[in-house]
Structure 1
């Protein structure tokens, strides 16, 4: 007598689901409970190994309590006295395997670690391809027997639970085995054995009560059969059910698919609902600004402005005043920026060896305020990026955002030091002005020398022509001085415009350099973690059989 059955199929090939589960578990490592990750990896490994052994043989296990008649039923199904039956506790001491077929499934039995094997050849052709196991009693007083039962329950393809009229309601059976294995209802059969000991009325009552208990365990689709190993009642029906399962060769993949699905569902529960993962533009800008402050970008751009003014005035000013101005410190050189090692940038020369970090005087200039601003900006970014993620993944995103914190100061300093400030750009006209200023200065010197020689030697040793009653030497002196002042004033306007352009260009270049540091030190690790989360979700979905 058979009471109901169920079949299950998946859309994604089982091999792909196994691979996806293994990948999902690896991706979840450190972000999900280790017990779930290890269980998923174990399920994937078991399934992969079982598939590798092929589907030529189907492993069916008879499990039951002491005195349930399990070994007698095993003999009845085999049609031979193979297992030792009796009332002694426990009767089955070691797992016994009987197999039907042309060749011994040695590799499969080795994987099952079942050394006691009984070949039955082709005595029953309908059972060809069957490996039937008689497990130790699950309620044995020997802990070793219980461990063996649970180990093999994790490996076999199909379960047949043999119960007797006296102990079919045993809580240990239902709470420890049937209910936890409810997901495998499609590859399970519950058998009420020893029916010969009951009257027809008692048998109907017992089978009805057992059906209710099995349904309560979540096994509503699991067949319930009634047998008697002594009278042979139902044994042929059970054998035909087993033969049909062996012939269809579906229970192997169904069992494995359920294992994979259970592990994938457990991981999915730790991944939560799909989250909107993005890095808000305003947070990225705030982080760039905080890092720019910490890197001293405002100080550098101010130094570029002042230094450009200083150098321009030296190049285009009155020669004497320019000479005196050289004693004033250059702001960029005081910061160890725009040094000779860096002036090669843009000329095809390498300013620094790849492994060398160019140091600047900015290192350590950013105080606790700037450091706190960077910390707040990074935290705000990671909080936004991890919003909606499960706790383990949110923690991983926050950890990724500070994974390069120790080297951040050096990276910023290196970025500032190796950014070309283009201080030599747009200065060709300075040379023209310098020539004009030196010519005017030379005229002034000629006029002054003319007057001095005549004054020292007396008389008019050197003739002094006049122009509109003014001595020409005086005109040369006054004209060159006024010309130098006018040229210097006009040049100063040009220097100021150029200085402001260089300061703006330097700020843009430095902000790009800081943004590259932000991308490498903060954004890339965070995006990598978010991508890992999405890959884990996709892998879990594939493992669950979703397209």
Structure 2
């Protein structure tokens, strides 16, 4: 295992980089684009820096105008590489000094540093493997100089901020760099240059003032080293600090860990203190109920009941009058409901649309209210962007809901294609009674014709009914008609009971299909966003090194 791989594994960087990739993946369309771009850039930077290995440690000397960066750079290198002078700015572009430059070229190419000074194979030097950069002034009047500093500050492994007695509290340095990089204390050193210009009696006071300033900025643990590039005071201590960083081969890993902590701090408000909520059962029921009403389930149930009653009359009524039930189309047929024209056993087709009117303004308002209440209660206490994200998830298919609801109704099994078995029994009885009545009419008609032509009449049988003696043909006529009408009336009452059951079943089946629409179009997207929030916040927590 290489030094870099071991350091990466021991620090948990691999796990945190996996969490970073998860943040980038889940952050699409959820996180602020600028923050997401930062996360994506950090992911790319980490992959590239780890690929380049830990054989070289990149240290940058950065500071304000006149702090003596270039002089300190020359003192550490041992030769005058960087130009120094009173004319500002002296350093116009970054330059590098490389101890043992073997294999450092790809790293310098990635850094974009073209000015390079190789110190040869001075492998015995404790600084072997060090890449020391001299950066332009952070407060340079040249914009491109400041942009160069900003770019390299994000890439180097260790930052040495060079300050001087006159400008150690300069806001250009503290407000723009030190304070925003308070999460990078592990890879930060402050070199108090030109300490020889401070009277010995005041040195402790000035250094204490600088340390207090850093502590208030969250950098209390950052080492402050008093040095002098002119007299070499404190230079060995700074060299030792750099040598330790080079020998540990961990500066690049520490830098990436610090970047991840900084990103986690930036993303922290996205999660907030609240735990991820879930869709409550009451909110789910409210959404399903509003969509069921908007689907026209009540109108469908009423049409199913009316159709069942009319079909009962058509199937079981008195044959002489039941044809009237077939003259007008049924309520189900007028609404184009599934099963209204189907033959038994024929399948439903969701592609066929009904003739139901769309949701009314009141029904649509109730749907909107249910969706709004769902989002409000689910996002209570959650920071942005979650209220906006969940609103988009809940209402993203709002315009498609009328069509989806119509499909749900069109594909529902409303039971209109089924005929109760007792209809056939009653129908047979009614036909028999009708034949009896017709036979009675024919018999009586025959007797009338015999009497008309003065022909002898055959004997006429009769039956006793209570106290009356009724001729058989008359009894056949009256019995067939009266019993048929009574049977039709009873069948109609029984059909009304069946109609109520059929309507209840139809509404239940429509609600089940509408519930699936609600799940697919509203509830599942909301739940998916809540799940994404939970995963995203867990990944952000892992960026800080927490499991």
Q: Do the two structures share a fold, i.e. TM-score over 0.5? A: yes
Q: Distance in 1 between matches of 2:380 and 2:174?
A: 42
Could you tell me how far 1:25 is from its partner in structure 2?
Answer: 4.4
**Matching residue of 1:351:** 348
**Matching residue of 2:13:** 14
Q: Distance in 2 between matches of 1:216 and 1:283?
A: 48
**Matching residue of 2:167:** 167
Q: Distance in 1 between matches of 2:395 and 2:81?
A: 66
**Matching residue of 2:4:** none
**Matching residue of 1:502:** 502
Deviations 1:137-160 (A, max 9, x none): 333332222221221111111111
- The reply on whether 1:273 has 2:270 as its aligned counterpart is no
Could you tell me how far 1:59 is from its partner in structure 2?
Answer: 0.2
Q: Distance in 1 between matches of 2:101 and 2:113?
A: 19
| Equivalent residues of 2:63, 2:161 under 8 A apart | yes
Deviations 1:11-64 (A, max 9, x none): 872133233234324534444443333333333332332222221211011123
Deviations 1:289-333 (A, max 9, x none): 222222221111111112111111111111001123322431111
Name which of 442, 446, 454 aligns with 1:449. Answer: 442
Could you tell me how far 1:337 is from its partner in structure 2?
Answer: 1.4
**Matching residue of 2:222:** 222
| Equivalent residues of 2:440, 2:477 under 8 A apart | yes
**Matching residue of 1:293:** 293
Gaps of 5+ in 2: 1-6, 464-468
**Matching residue of 2:428:** 435
**Matching residue of 1:131:** 131
**Matching residue of 1:284:** 284
Q: Distance in 2 between matches of 1:21 and 1:147?
A: 26
SS at match of 1:160: strand
Measured at CA, do residues 158 and 389 of structure 1 come closer, stay the same or move farther in structure 2, by a change above 3 Å? same
- The reply on whether 1:77 has 2:76 as its aligned counterpart is yes
- The reply on whether 1:362 has 2:359 as its aligned counterpart is no
Q: Please provide the CA RMSD for this pair.
A: 2.6
Could you tell me how far 1:481 is from its partner in structure 2?
Answer: 2.4
Measured at CA, do residues 341 and 545 of structure 1 come closer, stay the same or move farther in structure 2, by a change above 3 Å? farther
Q: Distance in 2 between matches of 1:379 and 1:195?
A: 65
| Equivalent residues of 1:11, 1:546 under 8 A apart | no
Measured at CA, do residues 10 and 218 of structure 1 come closer, stay the same or move farther in structure 2, by a change above 3 Å? farther
Deviations 1:426-446 (A, max 9, x none): 512211221221111111111
**Matching residue of 2:413:** 420
Q: Distance in 2 between matches of 1:197 and 1:470?
A: 142
**Matching residue of 2:86:** 87
Could you tell me how far 1:490 is from its partner in structure 2?
Answer: 3.7
Measured at CA, do residues 233 and 37 of structure 1 come closer, stay the same or move farther in structure 2, by a change above 3 Å? same
| Equivalent residues of 1:12, 1:546 under 8 A apart | no
Measured at CA, do residues 324 and 457 of structure 1 come closer, stay the same or move farther in structure 2, by a change above 3 Å? farther
Q: Distance in 1 between matches of 2:82 and 2:262?
A: 34
SS at match of 2:327: coil
Could you tell me how far 1:261 is from its partner in structure 2?
Answer: 0.9
| Equivalent residues of 2:316, 2:426 under 8 A apart | yes
- The reply on whether 1:374 has 2:371 as its aligned counterpart is no
Q: Distance in 2 between matches of 1:11 and 1:383?
A: 44
Measured at CA, do residues 331 and 538 of structure 1 come closer, stay the same or move farther in structure 2, by a change above 3 Å? same
Q: Distance in 1 between matches of 2:240 and 2:280?
A: 64
- The reply on whether 1:466 has 2:461 as its aligned counterpart is yes
Deviations 1:352-397 (A, max 9, x none): 3x6x3x2222123x42222222222222222222222213211221
TM-score by length of 2: 0.90
Could you tell me how far 1:202 is from its partner in structure 2?
Answer: 4.4
TM-score by length of 1: 0.90
Q: Give the stretch that moved more between structures: 138-147 or 262-271.
A: 138-147
Could you tell me how far 1:282 is from its partner in structure 2?
Answer: 2.3
Q: Distance in 2 between matches of 1:42 and 1:187?
A: 20
Q: Distance in 2 between matches of 1:253 and 1:131?
A: 16
Q: Which runs of 4+ in 1 moved over 6 A?
A: 8-12
Deviations 1:182-230 (A, max 9, x none): 2222212122223444553244444344334333443221111122323
Alignment of 1:334-349 (within 5 A): 334-339=334-339, 342-343=342-343, 347=345
Measured at CA, do residues 512 and 81 of structure 1 come closer, stay the same or move farther in structure 2, by a change above 3 Å? same
Q: Distance in 2 between matches of 1:213 and 1:423?
A: 83
Q: Distance in 1 between matches of 2:353 and 2:175?
A: 69
SS at match of 2:62: strand
Q: Distance in 2 between matches of 1:25 and 1:248?
A: 31
Measured at CA, do residues 214 and 278 of structure 1 come closer, stay the same or move farther in structure 2, by a change above 3 Å? closer
SS at match of 2:521: helix
Q: Give the stretch that moved more between structures: 194-203 or 398-407.
A: 194-203
Deviations 1:95-118 (A, max 9, x none): 111112261311111111001111
SS at match of 2:357: coil
| Equivalent residues of 1:342, 1:418 under 8 A apart | no
Q: Distance in 1 between matches of 2:334 and 2:485?
A: 30
Q: Distance in 2 between matches of 1:343 and 1:12?
A: 72
Q: Distance in 1 between matches of 2:481 and 2:347?
A: 45
Alignment of 1:385-424 (within 5 A): 385-424=378-417
**Matching residue of 1:313:** 313
| Equivalent residues of 1:11, 1:545 under 8 A apart | no
- The reply on whether 1:157 has 2:157 as its aligned counterpart is yes
Alignment of 1:508-519 (within 5 A): 508-519=508-519
Q: Give the stretch that moved more between structures: 206-215 or 321-330.
A: 206-215
Measured at CA, do residues 224 and 391 of structure 1 come closer, stay the same or move farther in structure 2, by a change above 3 Å? closer
Could you tell me how far 1:460 is from its partner in structure 2?
Answer: 5.1
| Structure possessing the higher relative contact order (Cα contacts under 8 Å, 6 or more residues apart) | 1
